[in-house]
Amino acid sequence: MATVSDAGDDIADAAVPEGVDLPEGLEPESADSDVEEGAKEVPRGLPLRVKGLRKEFGGITAVDGASFDVEEGSLTGLIGPNGAGKSTTFNCITGVHEPTAGDVFFRGEEITGLAPHEITRRGLVRTFQIARQLDEMTVLENVMLAPGGQRGESIARSVVPGLRGGVVEQERELREEAWETLEFFELDHLATEYAGNLSGGQRKLLELARALMTDPEVLLLDEPFAGVNPTLEEKLLDRIHDLREQGLTFLLVEHDMDLIMENCEHVIVMHQGRVLDEGPPEQIQDNEEVVEAYLGGEV
Amino acid sequence: MSESTARDALDPLRALFAHDAAKVTAMFLAIWALFYAFGTVLGYGNNGLLALVRRVTFLAAVYGIVVLALNIQWGYAGLFNIGVAGFMAVGAYTVSMLSGSPTGVPPGLGLPLPIGILGGMLAATVVGLVAALPALRLKADYLAIVTVALSEIIRITYNTPAFANITGGASGFDNLPTSPANALLLSDPSSTISEPTAVGEAVFSLFAQFGIQRFTAINTVYTVGVLVVLLVVYLVLERAGKSPFGRVLKAVREDETAAQSLGKDTQNFKVRAFALGCGLMGLAGILWFAMGPRASVTPVTFRPNITFYIFIALIIGGAGSNTGSVLGGALFASLLFEAPPVVRNIVTDAFDVSADPSNLIEALVPVAGGDLVPLAGFLLNNIDTLRFIGMGVLLVVLVQRRPDGLLGARKETAAGVSLAANTRPDRSDAAGNGGGDGE
């Protein structure tokens, strides 16, 4: 399961899928820039690649040259002590912050510096550490907001009598899809409740449900289990494993080491803005540097 | 059996009142009844009664339009536009300049009225966008500052003597376009005593049977036209609001970052909502000030206080609800704005408060001796200005006690279809799918 770059060759050979257009300028001599290098190793096997990511806030370097890949269909954990730069890394990947340096590739295309909504539309979708439910909208509205390509987002189509029919028809389909998704997360009994009235754990479920409605390929979950009771946590994990079996890829920021070790097949450890180590859980657990970082030692 | 049939007979009525149309109709009927009663108490004849009721209806309708326009910006998208007066001014002035007579002073371009109206709405939209595009990228407070400043810049621009030969300066633009009601009813629209058209003949003779004068009849026809526009604007915004578009606007209001993370280009939605709102504010300005019974468009009309009236009306009705906006506009225009002077007239007719004191101290001194009449007289005579204090107090109370508005409809769902619990699809054939594993 290692996704270090020397594994790139065999994955590239094995997994050039149908429907992926290889860029034209793929000859070796033109492949020096980061962009083309990223494109060359396009494989569907590594949907998300982060290279030399760096983010400075004034004099503080929150992320200091982090590089890692996320493998297709994996549940990858991103761990690290407080202030390690995990959330900032997430924010740089998803366009909330523009990185000071470094590149982010999604499906072989550079997405560094794109606006958040553009990144989401490509299929890379995130949730937030503190759930961002839309308080004065019902749970069903929250979920129906998410899908892309909604015809009724055009004023004319929503208003003009002859065009409105298509909007209503699509709304009906979306509503059905939304109910299904809510049932999947066992939130259906709360569908008409305002999101602001949900408990902390239910909000986390709602966020995941909403993110799922955007039809993502890769989901970045920022501490999805924080403030969630054990029963709900179990439920949420089950859902994540279900979705992974359906082909989704997850990158998970989490503080609970046991949870990460039990559920992720690949773990990335960040410390002081850098990737300290990555690999399968057993390898990480044996790494003394990691243990030291978590115990608060200075590295 | 008979009991259940009785219930069946009432059910449609209850169902009807659940509809927003019924609420609005009931509100207007109540307002008409109230002002009809006021007029009757004051001893008005049919002409006076109709003129009073028409005036209230006209104000309720134009307030309704502009409150609806503000609702799409502030109620839905949370865009804090406190330059409403400025956008109305741009609409009213532009239509006057485009469609005013070329031979009048200040001269207009003499374009047909529909072009003038479209031009006025377009101008209000463009002015809104030019100012708001940079501000919309920033936080809400900046938009508020930019819009209120813009509104004042607009007013002062129209007021300045430097442009007086185009705008009419401080005395206003009085070469207004021909009112469509006049054009419909009169052979010479510029003169109310000219020969009526065929339609005019029918309308005037109908109104004459009730002893209603021609001037009142013309204004009534115009007011009915404004009511029709209110209905159209309401329907447009109701559809725009209850759609995925409205849903994204609400999401922007609640949490813009969340909306972006769900793939919504929030900037684009904010710009469109702002443009739509500004265009409709321009339309309201046109209908309210540049046509109908008014003689001129004056800069002093567009001071910021009118913006705050509109905010009060929207807060009364409940920001976020289109029906609430119409109700709030009607309530504000009738009960808060028009009713106090009428009530004053009724009271001064019934009681003798003619020996009113000239200032508050003279009014308060007799209170010590148990004589309340001078104070009452003083308050009544100054009701035109005192009602604004009342409005301020009301605004404070409303924001504290009923932040969702009197009618509390801020949380209407935004979707093209019903989102009630009974819309859940029947899934008895697919029990194994998801929810059934019972954690």
Torsion sign, CA atoms B18, B321, B270, A132: negative
Lowest-confidence pick of A10-14, A110-114, A253-257, B184-188: A10-14
Give percent of chain B with pLDDT exceeding 90.
50
Q: What is the pLDDT of residue B428?
A: 54
Question: Band of the pLDDT at B432, cuts 50, 70, 90?
Answer: very low
Residue type (1 letter), A147: P
Question: Quick one: CA torsion of A172, A176, A182, A186, rounded to 10 degrees?
Answer: 140
Say yes or no to pLDDT of B412 above 90: no
Q: What is the mean pLDDT of residues B42-66?
A: 94
pLDDT number for residue B370: 78
The 10 Å CB-count burial string (b at 16+, else e) for B198-208 is eebeebbeebe
The minimum CA-CA distance between B246 and chain A, rounded to whole Å, is 8
In chain B, residues with a C-beta closer than 8 Å to the C-beta of A149 are: none
Size of interface A-B (CB pairs under 8 A): 158
A94 touches chain B (CB under 8 A): yes
pLDDT of residue A15: 41
Angstrom distances, CA of residue A93 to CA of A33, A54, A68, A115? 20, 11, 12, 10
pLDDT at position A80 = 87
Average pLDDT of the residues in B121-149? 88
Three-class SS of residue B357? coil
Q: Which chain B residues have a beta carbon less than 8 Å from that of A94?
A: 261
More confident: A290 or B407: A290
CATH architecture of the domain A40-133+215-299 equals 3-Layer(aba) Sandwich (3.40)
Interface contact B302, partner A, CB < 8 A = no
Calculate ∠ Cα B207-B208-B213, nearest 5°.
85
Q: Output the pLDDT for position A4.
A: 41
Which element (helix H / strand E) includes A64? Answer: strand A60-70
Alpha-carbon gap: B420 to the closest alpha carbon of chain A (Å): 6
Query: What's the sign of the alpha-carbon dihedral B136, B142, B148, B153?
Result: negative
pLDDT at residue B86, rounded to an integer:
96
Lookup: tokens for A148: 């892309």
pLDDT (0 to 100) of residue A297 = 52
- The pLDDT score that the predictor gives to residue B282 is 97
Tens-digit pLDDT profile for residues A20-47: 444 444 344 443 444 444 444 444 488 8
Please say if the pLDDT value at position B437 is more than 70: no
> What structural domains and CATH numbers belong to chain B?
45-301 (1.10.3470)
User: Alpha carbon A61 to chain centroid distance?
Assistant: 23
pLDDT range class, residue B356, cuts 50, 70, 90: low
Looking at mean pLDDT, say which of A72-86, B230-244, B291-305 comes out highest.
B230-244
Per-residue confidence (pLDDT) for residue A233, from 0 to 100: 87
- Give the Cβ contact number of residue A280 at 10 Å: 14
For residue B425, say if its preceding peptide bond is cis, omega within 30 degrees of 0.
no
Residue B338 has pLDDT above 60, yes or no: yes
Q: Where are the domains of chain A?
A: 40-133+215-299, 134-197
Decide if pLDDT at B222 tops 90: yes
Name the residue among A170, A175, A183 with its Cβ closest to that of B434. Answer: A183
Question: Which residues of chain A have a CB within 8 Å of the CB of B276?
Answer: 155
Percent of chain A's residues with pLDDT above 90 = 49
Cα–Cα distance, B68 to B320 (Å, whole number): 9
Report the pLDDT averaged over residues A245-274: 89
CA–CA gap between residue A183 and residue A127 (Å, rounded): 20
Q: Does A61 touch chain B (CB under 8 A)?
A: no
Chain centroid to Cα B96, Å, comes to 21
Of chain A, the percentage scoring pLDDT greater than 70 comes to 84
Mean pLDDT of chain B, nearest integer: 86
pLDDT at B16 (0 to 100):
65
What pLDDT sits at residue A23?
43
| pLDDT score of B187 | 86
DSSP letter for each residue of A229-294: -HHHHHHHHHHHHHHHHTT-EEEEE-S-HHHHHHH-SEEEEEETTEEEEEE-HHHHHT-HHHHHHH
Residue-level pLDDT at A230: 87
Least confident of A50-64, B275-289, B412-426: B412-426
How many CA atoms lie less than 13 Å away from A172 in the CB half-sphere? 6
pLDDT digits 0-9 by tens, A143-186: 999 999 899 999 999 999 888 888 999 999 999 999 999 998 88
**Hey, which residues does A269 pair with through a beta bridge?**
A79, A277
Report how far residue B73's alpha carbon sits from residue B52's, in angstroms, rounded to the nearest whole number: 32
How far apart CA A144 and CA A146 sit, in angstroms, is 5
- On the 0-12 / 13-18 / 19+ scale of CB atoms within 10 A, A108 is buried
- Residues B32/B25, Cβ–Cβ less than 8 Å: no
pLDDT beyond 90 at B317: no
- pLDDT tens sequence across B189-203: 877 788 888 899 999
> Per-residue pLDDT tens for B77-112?
999 999 999 999 999 999 999 999 898 888 889 899
How confident is the model at residue A27, as a pLDDT?
40
Q: Which residue has the higher pLDDT, B136 or B253?
A: B253
8 A C-beta contact, residue B109 and residue B102: yes
Which of chain A's residues have a Cβ under 8 Å away from the Cβ of B433? 180, 183
Best interface-test mutation with A: which of B68, B72, B76, B247 has the largest number of A CBs within 10 A? Answer: B247
- Whether the pLDDT of residue B11 is over 80: the answer is no
Average pLDDT value for residue range B398-425: 76
Q: What is the full DSSP assignment across B358-370? A: SSHHHHHHHHHTT
Q: In this complex, is the C-beta atom of B184 within 8 Å of any C-beta atom belonging to chain A?
A: no
Q: Is the confidence at residue B44, as pLDDT, over 70? A: yes
Q: Please report residues of A whose CB lies closer than 8 A to that of B264.
A: 117, 145
A78: helix, strand or coil: strand
Provide the residue count of chain B: 439
Please give the helix or strand (H or E) that residue B15 lies within, else none. Answer: helix B2-18
B129 Rama class: left (phi>0) / alpha (psi -120 to 50) / beta: alpha
> What value does the mean pLDDT of chain A take?
82
The answer to whether residue A116 neighbours chain B at the CB level (below 8 Å) is yes
* Residue B23 reports pLDDT greater than 70: yes
Report ipTM for this prediction. 0.81
Alpha carbons B157 and B175: distance in angstroms, whole number:
18
Q: What is the mean pLDDT of residues A196-216?
A: 91
Q: How many residues does chain A have?
A: 299
Residue B405, both tokens: 């508005």
Please tell me the distance from the alpha carbon of residue B330 to that of residue B64, in angstroms, as a whole number. 6
Q: Do B276 and A235 touch (CB under 8 A)?
A: no
B6 — pLDDT class (breaks 50, 70, 90)? low
Q: Any residues with CB less than 8 A from the CB of B132 and at least 6 apart, and which?
A: B79, B81, B143, B146, B147, B271, B274, B278
Give the pLDDT score at B17: 63
- State how far residue B238 is from chain A, nearest Cα, in angstroms: 8
pLDDT higher for A242 or B374? A242
Q: Which is more confidently placed, A272 or A9?
A: A272
For the stretch B102-106, contacts whose Cβ atoms lie closer than 8 Å and that sit 24 or more positions apart, written own/partner, are B104/B175, B105/B175, B106/B164, B106/B165, B106/B166, B106/B167, B106/B168, B106/B173, B106/B175
Residues of B whose CB is below 8 A from A192? 419-421
Q: How far apart are CA B110 and CA B98, in angstroms?
A: 6
The residues facing A61 across adjacent strands are A56
Residue B309 at interface with chain A, using a CB cutoff of 8 Å: no
B interface mutation test: which of A96, A125, A171 has the most B CBs within 10 A?
A171
